[in-house]
Amino acid sequence: MDASPFKISVHHIGGRAGTRPYPHLNWLEPAVENVLYDADPSCLEQIRQVWNMQCTVLPYCIGKSREEALFHLTYDRYGSSLLTCRPEYDNLYLYSRQFNLDYDPRSHQTAASVPVTLHSLDELFPHTAPPVQAPNFLSLDAEGAEYDILQGAADLLRTSIHGVYTEVQFMRRFVGQHSLQEIDDLLERHGFVLIEIRQTNVLSMEVCRPIGLRDHGTVNSGDVLFLKKPQSILADHPDPFVSLLQAAVTALVFHHFSFALNYLDAFVARGGEAWLDACAEGVPDYVHVMKSIIKTVRNYPRLTPVRFTQLYLTPEDAAARFAAVPSGQGTPLTCASLFDDYLRSLDMTPEQFRLQVNHLLGEHYFGVEEILRLLDMAPLADLIREGRLQQIRGLCSRLRIPIEQTAGSGRA
């Protein structure tokens, strides 16, 4: 099979300096198509040089619809925008920990306003047909214009895009800027869910304080990751199996492993494995990685933490925990009864339980943790391993079972 249908087309709007938020991993990069946009023609050649020509640079100013507008180039070009700053923002100082600089009020003043023609993404794909695929993942750094760009991508958000990573302003910095809530509402209508908010490493202050008199400042801006629900991909994407695999990869590289499993669960439930087996050789490496994860997860231990409703069998039991005088109600099940109920819920024998506990208590990396380490994703492997150890120890504590790890316990 031609690998091009599997290629993940990553589009970044506001690509000055050649940056993109989508993580760069050597095993994945051959399957990624990089497309960067910037409205300032003076920075386009630098983008090409940064990427050593391994990207497509589109000189478009992206907005809600095709129309003429002014693009405001600021003293610090990173702040350039289709929107103008609110007057009260003119007095703010921004300290960047990344660059160790105070961005003083002059740095975000407009140096020049240039006429541009706006294009919407829905207009460009497929009508104008640039020499790239339509976006599968869209990231935005448009200094307040993100909402308008998303409005102009309604068709792509429904049928092509599985992930959005956008800068958001928590301050009302620009005239006409939309809030995170409005962006969330718009994307929710297209089947997306907010996954993560990352605060930008910037300190905002109204007075330029000397070093030693500064705290963390006020919240200025951040970056937000949205991923599309599996059921929305199945309902609206023309190639749902490919889109589910691509979305699983994106969730994985952004360290949201549980959401990656949601996509793979939907893929398997709809018969994706049989479809994939029918594909000829030549699929990209990430497809093999997803197949390996599916196979590995299928053989995992089935233990989960004790459920609240296993511990407190009725609402009255749960509420009685807060009574001023204990009434005798609200007492959780005895450890023996809880243990028996727990085993019944998993249809498991005590011996099966012991073997799985010993396996999960192993200090070594195993299963998906080993796969992630091979993929140069050690931080995520460590996160999953630490969560495994904490949760299995917590389960043993809740069930009052002594932790007796068997030396050299086998691997699944």
pLDDT of amino acid 201: 63
Tell me: the pLDDT tens digits for 32-73? Answer: 999 999 999 999 999 999 998 789 999 999 999 999 999 999
Reported as a single tens digit per residue, the pLDDT across 234-283 is: 999 999 999 999 999 999 999 999 999 999 999 999 999 999 888 867 79
Structure tokens at 1: 């099979």
Task: Say what percent of the chain tops pLDDT 70.
Answer: 94
Write the pLDDT tens digit of every residue in 102-113: 999 899 889 999
pLDDT of res. 407: 38
Nearest alpha carbon to residue 155 among 65, 224, 36: 65
What's residue 327's pLDDT?
Answer: 55
- Alpha-carbon distance of 111 to 90, in angstroms, equals 14
Please say if the pLDDT value at position 289 is more than 50: yes
The mean pLDDT value of the chain amounts to 90
Instruction: Supply the pLDDT for residue 332.
Output: 58
pLDDT digits (tens, 9 = 90+) for 22-33: 999 999 999 999
Q: What is the mean pLDDT of residues 83-92?
A: 84
| pLDDT on residue 404 | 64
- Given this model, what pLDDT does residue 408 score? 40
Q: What is the pLDDT of residue 64?
A: 96
pLDDT at residue 387, as a whole number: 97
- Going along the chain from its start, the domains and CATH numbers come out as 4-70+120-196+223-298 (3.40.50.150), 308-398 (no CATH)
Each as own residue / partner, the long-range contacts of residues 46-53 (CB below 8 Å, 24 or more positions apart, any chain) are 46/17, 46/18, 47/15, 47/16, 47/17, 47/18, 49/18, 50/17, 50/18, 51/18
Q: Is the pLDDT of residue 406 over 50?
A: no
pLDDT of residue 321: 83
| Rounded Cα gap, residues 296 and 140, in angstroms | 35
> Cβ distance 78 to 48 under 8 Å?
no
pLDDT, mean of residues 124-140? 88
